[in-house]
Amino acid sequence: MDTVVKEKSMCNSNWRRRSATLLLHNIMTLFLGFQLAAFMMSSLMMMQVEAQGGWEVIVNNAGIASMHTVVTHYNTAVLLDRTDIGPSQLPLPDGVCRNDPNDESSTHDCTAHSAVLDLGTNTIRPLFIQTDTWCSSGQFNGDGTLVQTGGDNDGFSKIRTFAPCGGDGDCNWVETDVPLQNGRWYATNAQLPDGTQIVVGGRGIATVEYVPANGRGTTYVPLIADANDAQNDNLYPYVHLLPNNQLFIFANQDSILYDWQTNTVAANLPTLPGGPRNYPSAGSSVLLPLSGFNGWTDAEILVCGGATYGAFLNPGAAIPATQSCGRIAPLDANPGWALENMPLRRNMGDMLLLPDRNVLIVNGAANGAQGWGNAQNPVTTPVLYNPNGAPGTRFQTLTATDIPRVYHSTANVLPDASVLIAGSNTHQFYTLTGYLATELRIERFSPPYLAPGAPAIANAPGELAYGAAFTATINNGNPKFIDLNLLSAPYSTHSFAQGQRLLQLETAAPAAVGGGTYTVATTAPPSSVIAPSAYYMLFAVSNGIPSQAQWVHVG
């Protein structure tokens, strides 16, 4: 009996030990499992964050807050602010000073209000500019010269040029002697197929004119008149050159087709619902990519964001921004706007065509409007828009930045397919402390497509004649398909990239030449209507990943 009890006791003791050991094992397994799961979740989150892009400050103090930014074919960026803000943080060299009796802030100024950023070294070289470029406009000519028009005060009627040069050059601004026919402030420039530029609108100016003047004079356009709008929400009109050689011009909530050759309105288009979309209630706009695969005919316009009417008139009210986008095919027989909502409300956003033919929406605020002190709640999260996605699936949020960019911010695509982000000054003068201080840092945003396995353009012509066949040699491409896309270098200011366009060339299937290298046969754009003569960035895109661009001259 005792033996039986003893055996039972030993059995129970062994069972308890085994149970305790098993329990401890299970606890440890569960703990390790939780740790593994947490690690995997953390890794997955890190992978997701990596997959949503990344930010890097490349210049800690540019000296100026760039409200106008362009990228040149010398792989530099021209930064431009207004001149009547008093001293900037960037001194002019060798004791050079600007003497201007008309300047409202400083008649003797020894600091720069424009600069060149070398994209290879991230170094800044100050530039000298004499007249006030506040809220001016610009565009590249066919030879790569930047033409810059208008501004405030003594810059109201000025035409300036900048012929870019390499990193060791001394190129600078030139103030021309030929004035604008109508002085302009808050206007928009667009390059035309004949090599001239049209300059559209401006505060109190409801006309268009041409630079250089080509005999067509100035013409009144009712769309850009501001008589019936207390906010003047028709400034910085959205202007896009269409494949039928007409201009799409959008102001406030309305748009027209404009025949620039006869200076007449060819058609009035439907009103876009959702409130005003132009400065000071600015959203943004792009002409979606044109493609040689459909004969360059499928033109669509996208307009996103804006401010609720009244936000500009009531700057302290923090009125919510617009969340909707409108999309229209203006050359259709019966065009109409299709609406969809962005993930976030946004005004003052910049919209950029990326080399993979998606659209980036970046910068801006969720409340208020453009103007000094009007913006609240910066939107630091970029959004990606896929034009070819199904409605309801087109938007994707990306990694946020730590630096708010509101009024007077800019965004430009760079030759390495990243995005240059500069500016932000919601104050009348440079205010380097406090809420939404003047921002002198420059960032580079790397979209999600910047990943290992990028193709490389080994060889492509530097000059493309209209309609000419050519072959590009691509390393590390997809043997089934490689995109060749031409991207212009627009003038970015006040939430609109003037002159922006992306052209998808019609390509044949890649031909293997060995060692992971392929040749791709294609044809240059057929005319200056599709591709106004200029320097473009040629990107090869394989598996959704763009190459470093090669600059090519078209025309």
- Give residue 503's pLDDT: 98
- Give residue 330's pLDDT: 98
Structure tokens at 335: 């065009």
- Give residue 376's pLDDT: 94
Structure tokens at 457: 């353009």
Count of H-run helices and E-run strands, the chain? 1, 45
241: CB partners within 8 A, 6+ apart: 190, 191, 192, 193, 247, 287, 501, 529, 532
Reduce the DSSP state of residue 366 to 3 states and report it.
strand
- Give residue 227's pLDDT: 63
**DSSP H or E run through 541:** strand 534-542
Answer whether 179's CB lies under 8 Å from 157's CB.
Answer: yes
297: CB partners within 8 A, 6+ apart: 243, 331
Strand order in the sheet with 238-241: 238-241, 247-251, 254-259, 264-268
450: CB partners within 8 A, 6+ apart: 53, 417, 418, 545
DSSP codes, 74-123: TSEEEEE--STTS--SSBPGGG--EE-TT-SS-SEE-B-SEEEEETTTTE
- Give residue 46's pLDDT: 30
pTM value? Answer: 0.90
- Give residue 226's pLDDT: 72
Summarised one tens digit per residue, pLDDT across range 386-437 is: 999 999 999 999 999 999 999 999 999 999 999 999 999 999 999 999 999 9
**CATH number of the domain located at residue range(s) 55-446 in this protein:** 2.130.10.80
Summarised one tens digit per residue, pLDDT across range 228-254 is: 678 999 999 999 999 999 999 999 999
Place of tokens 């030990």: 17
Whether pLDDT at 41 is above 90 = no
44: CB partners within 8 A, 6+ apart: none
Q: Where are the domains of the chain?
A: 55-446, 456-554
Structure-derived torsion over alpha carbons of residues 289, 75, 497, 86, reported in degrees to the nearest 10:
170
- Give residue 214's pLDDT: 80
Whole-number Cα distances in Å, 309 to 27, 185, 318, 369: 61, 22, 12, 9
Whether pLDDT at 485 is above 90 = yes
357: CB partners within 8 A, 6+ apart: 289, 387, 388, 483, 485, 502, 504, 541
Q: Name which of 68, 236, 108 is nearest 130 in CA terms.
A: 108
Answer whether 100's CB lies under 8 Å from 126's CB.
Answer: no
Residues in the chain, how many?
555
Q: Higher model confidence: residue 5 or residue 81?
A: 81
Whether pLDDT at 58 is above 70 = yes
Instruction: Give the whole-angstrom CA distance, residue 517 versus residue 416.
Output: 20
Structure tokens at 499: 């002159």
Q: Name which of 297, 203, 316, 362 is nearest 506 in CA terms.
A: 297
- Give residue 426's pLDDT: 94
Q: Are strands 76-80 and 511-514 parallel, antiparallel or unpaired?
A: unpaired
Reduce the DSSP state of residue 552 to 3 states and report it.
strand
- Give the count of beta carbons closer than 10 Å to the beta carbon of residue 75: 18
Q: pLDDT-derived band of residue 501, with 50, 70 and 90 as boundaries?
A: very high
Structure tokens at 509: 């299937």
State the average pLDDT for the chain.
91
Q: pLDDT-derived band of residue 103, with 50, 70 and 90 as boundaries?
A: confident
Task: Of 30-39, 99-108, 196-205, 480-489, give the lowest mean pLDDT range.
Answer: 30-39
Q: For domain 456-554, which CATH number applies: 2.60.40.10, 1.10.3720.10, 3.30.70.1400, 2.30.110.10?
A: 2.60.40.10
Q: pLDDT-derived band of residue 104, with 50, 70 and 90 as boundaries?
A: confident
Average the pLDDT over 194-220 and give the result. Answer: 94
Q: pLDDT-derived band of residue 156, with 50, 70 and 90 as boundaries?
A: very high
Q: pLDDT-derived band of residue 3, with 50, 70 and 90 as boundaries?
A: very low
- Give residue 228's pLDDT: 66
Average the pLDDT over 85-93 and give the result. Answer: 95
